[in-house]
A = this chain, B = another copy of it.
């Protein structure tokens, strides 16, 4: 590889950094082995010319974009087949590609086959009997069939009991008759459903012997194996363009008297016998496990989004020069403006903390998962409550953080060649899918209010809410001394008090004669506030515990930087919720000023290592895909390269001049 020519301002930042970015890169990747794996996968996929875009997706029409996405998805699938033939574990590789940074780099607007791998195959594995798995999995693994997972409907999402699609068992033919009886019953949103998949797991309300039995999943063939034409009774297509993920081919599906044989209902948990007798499932806890798994993955994804956005903004801030601080001096790197640091650096610290929180809850999930399999459900509600609020907080903060980074790059952040618009689109989507954020917060809050009552009754609470016991004992938080430990403790005290207020609101409304449910609805402002603080207290505690522990295992140089990251994260988090702190803890105006000065001091101390820190996220240039954020910092060169790809610039005069503009200009002459 030829020596890389780097923008001198950026090179200067690298030369003066006080730690070795690679040390943190290895930690970030999860150890030396994973770091090497990551590098190998990047080489294999990101440097394959067949998978490189000639035309940026933003210039394509929606139809072209879909066709190109499918082309690349097939190429990737074929590559993984070869890997598997060479003895590598293909599905794991594919999962890594889809979930991680590689997936977004290869298929920036999403993969029309991803639901096949992340929902269709796992659902058959989780909910199919052994016979069903033997029948369907080989075909699915080999991609002889491409499936998707159809649950959400046009009129129904969060509230599953509201789904309208129904499956009536006809014992005379031993078939289910599946229908979407109304417009709002149409399946809506499944990825790949539009024109890609030929099979789906369809979730429907099950009726046997004329009685309602609850939801059940059915394997339904959507399209002919050879012609790909929709099967009889199937009305299917693409739902149209979206804020992002335009290549995913999200689809709609209407079913009219579609008949599937008895053994197409996935029957591991519940059964229908040939005569229509229904055998109910033993417990439905397992699906909670799957939801938690997905939310843990999403928390990691939000960290990744922030890492990307803050890398781009930081490198650009080192290269861009603007507006003298001292009118006698030349224009400085914009990173020297305190207001610029205030935008970008907290996003770096959040990327790191969200990643660590993601790893922590991932480990907790794995422990829980083992317990669940042994029938031990004790920690499930606690973990569910935690995963819900963290999914909401991390996705909301990451989305806001990406936009702050974009705006920090001025007009250039608005150009698609910055990649910010695409990163935002992917990040903000997480606020809605896999549990809408407000619904998530309310689920957490319901748990908090419940355990608050238990704590009042003298019960000792489980670890992640034990701070509520302490706060009830403490009553008042004294001696807030601005140490990091004190901020963490204060976060917990504030969180406990937000839960107290929510609890009191519900109790008050119950005393006024409202049912618990109505009281909870009326207290929505208080409930979501409590859940928000619960998650933030966990993030503060985790950041403190984990970053302190990590600092002891790394070089003193890196440890020093991580200490600043931790301090910045905590001080910024505290100031962002300062209203809650002041509400429950004695603070003077001067204390707040001191905290704000401390924030500025953190920014100043992070300044010399900001570039090295984002370098250590080790994001491949194709992952960043940004003219503003490339490793070489040659921002303006890359922007110039981008305009050469613009199809409008292929001709000096666009035909619309002759067709529209010239006649208009001359019309009145």
Contact surface of A with B, Cβ cutoff 8 Å: 56, 58-64, 66-67, 70-71, 74, 77-78, 81, 142-146, 152, 154-159, 162, 183-184, 188-189, 194-196, 223, 227-230, 237-243, 252, 320-327, 331, 336-340, 342-343, 403, 407, 410-411, 413-417, 420-421, 428-429, 431-433, 436-439, 442, 497, 501, 505, 515, 517-518, 521-526, 528-529, 575, 577-579, 581-584, 587, 589, 592-593, 596-597, 599-600, 636-637, 639-640, 642-643, 645-649, 652-669
Contact = CB atoms under 8 A, between A and B. Distances in A.
12 contacts: A71-B659, A143-B665, A145-B665, A155-B320, A162-B322, A229-B653, A237-B648, A238-B648, A240-B417, A407-B437, A410-B436, A505-B597
A146 B322 contact: no
Contacts of A320: 155
A429 to B, nearest CB: 7
A252 B66 contact: no
Contact of A403 (B252, B428, B521): B428
B338 A522 contact: yes
A662 B338 contact: no
Given A143-B664, A158-B322, A656-B67, A438 B228 contact: no
Contacts of A421: 242-243
A610 to B, nearest CB: 16
A228 B643 contact: no
Contacts of A592: 579, 583
Contacts of A521: 325, 336-338
Contact of A154 (B78, B596, B639): B639
A454 to B, nearest CB: 22
Return the 9 tightest CB-CB contacts between A and B, nearest first: A338-B524, A579-B579, A582-B582, A578-B579, A58-B241, A74-B664, A339-B524, A237-B649, A61-B61
Contacts of A668: 81, 142
Nearest to A240: B646
A252 B643 contact: yes
Contact of A528 (B78, B339, B431, B518): B339
A59 B59 contact: no
Contacts of A429: 414
A646 B66 CA distance: 12
